[in-house]
Structure 1
Amino acid sequence: MNRSFENNLNTYKLLSHRKTDTEVPHGPFTVAVLNVGAPAAGMNAAVRSAVRVGITEGHRMMAVQDGFEGFAKGQIKEIKWGDVGGWTGQGGSLLGTKRTLPAKHIDKIAEQMRIHRINALLVIGGFEAYLGLQELLAARDSYDPFCVPMVMVPSTVSNNIPGSDLCIGADTALNAITGAFEAVLQLMEARWRHREFCVPLCMLPATISNNVPGTDLSIGADTSLNAIVEINVEHLREKMKTSIQRGLVLRNESCNENYTTDFIYQLYSEEGKGVFDCRKNVLGHMQQGGAPSPFDRNFGTKIAAKAMQWISRRLKDFYQEGRVFANTEDSACLLGMRRRALVFQPVTQLKEETDFVHRIPKEQWWLKLRPLMKILAKYRTSYDISDSGQLEHVTRPRARDIEIAITI
């Protein structure tokens, strides 16, 4: 039997068939689950998985509503096996989620952990969840209640969490964006020839979505706009002479405070006069998608189950003299996907990999796709797999370059 299929089958059996009270161990531990940051499709699947695995492991599971803000207000209640039934296919966050960081409510959160005797934390969310875990870890010296095992499961459509190549919700977001692009391209084919569309997106989708057929340019924070606009306009002018008389430009919503969507739209409208005209379309919250994709449902289920099993092991390791006390570096981790493997990494070690100003990892694996995207957009360029992907790969073609260009 295929190992991946076997793991999926075992997870399904574990989460679908409730054990009787006599079969379930009853331990002394209480685990809290909360969502932090913007909603992402697959969050609910992760919560369902965590709750049911925790109950199977013998823990008392507590649900925190509205993130750290709800934590401080005491919006905490026990959550049972049946309470999470049917959550897998629902989008958004049924627990409620907010971007509030714990630092401003640290006293109240510590008090709530004492009141409810919480022995471990599972935080599911985006960059705010990552920052929040860092703040809780830093507060351990002053607040003993935070000396417990803590783990974060990355879940955000931006896919910008250090330590994980992929986050829950990113696949659903890309599917939603691709569907929107295809609708725009179909409309241009039918009615609006000689048109260029500018669409602003969030971080990861602005580049990955460039793989959608018909995309000509992706503008991100790493892109030197002055260097590529003229080249792209020339490319579009030549393209309009062919049978493919439409174009699509994607813009990262945070790429530059001055190069706004309106600015890019006006720039292309001016440069394309007499050849093509422009329209703009802001996807906004459509990027979050609706119901999670099958991948995000499966990914959220598996990664949360693994996180809860890690918590169970760490609770046993740190349980001494009737209490849990964990103050080591490896007791606060992020569970991320690295090269198709799920890896636990101490959040303190991830600081060096983080660009806190731009809220992204310093190394972006998907930037290496830029050369391939130019080839798919029919630019004359080569695909250098040794390139780091940190710089724009398209430069003004010279006669000699055109002669030696690789055609794919």
Structure 2
Amino acid sequence: MDPYDRKRFIERGSHKGKGIAVFTSGGDSQGMNAAVRAVVRMAIYLGCKIFFIKEGYQGMVDGGDNIVEANWASVSSIIHKGGTVIGSARCMDFKERAGRLKAAKNLIGRGITNLVVIGGDGSLTGANLFRQEWKSLLEELVNTSEITPEQSQKYNHLHIAGLVGSIDNDFCGTDMTIGTDSALHRIIEAIDAIVSTAYSHQRTFIMEVMGRHCGYLALVAALTSEADYVFIPEWPPELDWRNKMCKKLLQARLNSVISLFTNMVWNERSAGQRLNIIIVSEGAIDRDGHPITAEMVRQVVVENLKQDTRITVLGHVQRGGSPSAFDRVLGCRMGAEAVMALMEATPDTEACVVSLDGNQAVRLPLVECVQRTNAVTKAMADRKWELAVQLRGKSFQRNLDTYKMLTRLKPPKSSFDASGRGVEGYTLGVMHVGAPACGMNAAVRSFVRNCIYRGDTVYGIHDGVEGLIAGNVQNMNWSDVTGWVGQGGAMLGTKRTLPGQRINQVAARLKEFKIQALLIIGGFEVCTDKILIFNVFEK
């Protein structure tokens, strides 16, 4: 066992006797139960007394049967369940000092000085305030003889570890909050179902999704469904968004335009795209801070384009149902890390929130993360849109930039010279090797459009190495990859065949089409294939 493994080894029963409680607060989200399960079992493994606080802060204030000791079996068969089995409630009593006094007394009575809070930024902020007031609350309880001086001395420090459980993904400091991935699954499933009926009737559908004042769900749903337009609060549309939206929807539908002025008149539908999808975040606003609602968007489409337009509000179905595999794993990892954070805390340790950074569960200062989250709200209130997007994080910013680029109906004119050739002038190829997998088509679409946007020429190689040797190579255009995001399998085709002894034939085809760089998307076979083809490029 190397030194790092010895350092991270956690001895069973190493924190025997410590009191810890877990509760869920605010809106529920899929994956909360996985986190609760991980907290309970990790605490038991370490020898702690672990308690459920039912109904969130309200249960903490009310005490009694709302605070119960948990055991190993208490959390059996809950990892796959949505919502929260220990209940959640928004509590007004806890916002008052009198309510927090009651909560402190109830915790002291059970020897609890460690709390795992699973909820949104409001729940975590309340927990941090509770921690800051803890000593003064105990002093007041001693003065009123509610607790003894000995109890006050024994339990004079309260430690807090937070887990962000929210489908909105609106908390700064973590790549993903518990429940976001599951909510996105619900949204994408709904959009995929809507697309079928929209195509049949040549309709425009406006999907309203949740998110409060964060546009993450709407943005990622738009990116992964090839939606024609999206409205999010962090990046409001241009002042003339009505005309621009109608023009874009029209170009996707029609062959020709008669006029594009205040009173718009349109002619025949295109034989191509028969539907439009618009996604509206429930907190969407315009540049002046006024709400943009799904009904407002519908009226614009109907009045200007005369299209059959329907609204679908997904509502709380986005919170319901079983959590995705990602949210189950995320809840488990975060819950276990939260318990370790509490066990390793000292009197000087500040409250932390367990976050996801890449694929690692990390601890960050709770107050700092809350302040960064509040800074986003302030930036939007001050109409500093670029700052708001920046504060959401690099992932959010990249998603927005990628969406704006990939959903163009055609590449910009600046990508080509007078003869129609790409200004960059590189020639690139893309192909698959190995078995097909979900997401291959989305990767090809993104690659093709990114390259064309830069001004490069892209060749799609059908059927892997076999297709390359046979010359089954297609010059890819912007519109060739429209609709590929939601398609399974591999639209270019794929085979497990490797170059083997035919490497010279591969080289001849690459030279014939003047391919300077090649993207290979596939499984383990890619590694072998890549080495052989790289040697060809070297020669």
Common topology (TM > 0.5): yes
Structure 2 match to 1:192: 201
Q: CA separation in 2, counterparts of 1:234 and 1:81?
A: 60
Q: CA separation in 2, counterparts of 1:368 and 1:146?
A: 45
Matched, 1:367 2:379: no
- Change in CA separation of 1:107 and 1:192 when aligned onto 2, cut-off 3 Å: same
Once the two structures are TM-superposed, the CA of residue 240 in structure 1 deviates from its matched residue by: 0.8
Q: CA separation in 1, counterparts of 2:15 and 2:234?
A: 52
Q: CA separation in 2, counterparts of 1:138 and 1:312?
A: 19
Q: CA separation in 1, counterparts of 2:302 and 2:210?
A: 20
**Which of 1 and 2 has greater Rg?**
2
Matched, 1:228 2:241: yes
Structure 1 alignment gaps of length 5 or more:
1-5, 319-325, 384-401
Matched, 1:270 2:303: yes
- Change in CA separation of 1:246 and 1:51 when aligned onto 2, cut-off 3 Å: same
Q: CA separation in 2, counterparts of 1:295 and 1:200?
A: 21
Three-state SS of the structure 2 residue aligned to 1:223 is coil
Once the two structures are TM-superposed, the CA of residue 252 in structure 1 deviates from its matched residue by: 1.1
Residue by residue over 1:167-187, the C-alpha shift from the partner in whole angstroms, topping out at 9 and shown as x without a partner, is: 111110000100000000011
Structure 2 match to 1:250: 279
Aligned pair partner of 1:238 in 235, 241, 251: 251
1:207 touches 1:367 (CA, 8 Å); kept in 2? no
Q: CA separation in 1, counterparts of 2:208 and 2:251?
A: 21
2:61 touches 2:102 (CA, 8 Å); kept in 1? yes
1:63 touches 1:95 (CA, 8 Å); kept in 2? yes
Where does structure 1 differ by over 3 angstroms across 4 or more consecutive aligned residues? 23-26, 356-362, 378-383, 402-408
Amino acid at match of 1:236: L
Matched, 1:29 2:18: yes
Structure 2 match to 1:323: none
Residue by residue over 1:43-69, the C-alpha shift from the partner in whole angstroms, topping out at 9 and shown as x without a partner, is: 001101110010000000000001111
Three-state SS of the structure 2 residue aligned to 1:27 is coil
Q: CA separation in 1, counterparts of 2:400 and 2:453?
A: 22
Give matches, 1:161-172, under 5 Å. Answer: 161-172=171-182
Q: CA separation in 1, counterparts of 2:367 and 2:234?
A: 26
More RCO (CA 8 Å, sep 6+): 1
Cα root mean square deviation, aligned: 2.9
Q: CA separation in 2, counterparts of 1:29 and 1:41?
A: 29
Three-state SS of the structure 2 residue aligned to 1:150 is strand
Q: CA separation in 1, counterparts of 2:183 and 2:453?
A: 40
Structure 2 alignment gaps of length 5 or more:
139-154, 255-269, 381-387, 415-451, 457-476, 479-539
Three-state SS of the structure 2 residue aligned to 1:279 is strand
Three-state SS of the structure 2 residue aligned to 1:142 is helix
Amino acid at match of 1:240: R
Residue by residue over 1:273-329, the C-alpha shift from the partner in whole angstroms, topping out at 9 and shown as x without a partner, is: 2xx231101000011130011111111111111111222222xxx4xxxxxxx3x3x
Structure 1 match to 2:34: 45
Amino acid at match of 2:305: G
Residue by residue over 1:93-131, the C-alpha shift from the partner in whole angstroms, topping out at 9 and shown as x without a partner, is: 100012336322211111111111112001111222222
Give matches, 1:33-112, under 5 Å. Answer: 33-74=22-63, 75-100=66-91, 102-104=94-96, 105-112=99-106
Give matches, 1:3-402, under 5 Å. Answer: 24=13, 27-74=16-63, 75-100=66-91, 102-104=94-96, 105-144=99-138, 147-189=157-199, 191-202=200-211, 203=214, 204-225=216-237, 226-241=239-254, 242=270, 243-256=272-285, 258-273=291-306, 276-314=307-345, 318=346, 326=347, 328=348, 330-355=349-374, 358=377, 362-364=391-393, 365-380=395-410
Deviates most, 32-41 or 238-247:
238-247
Q: CA separation in 2, counterparts of 1:181 and 1:93?
A: 26
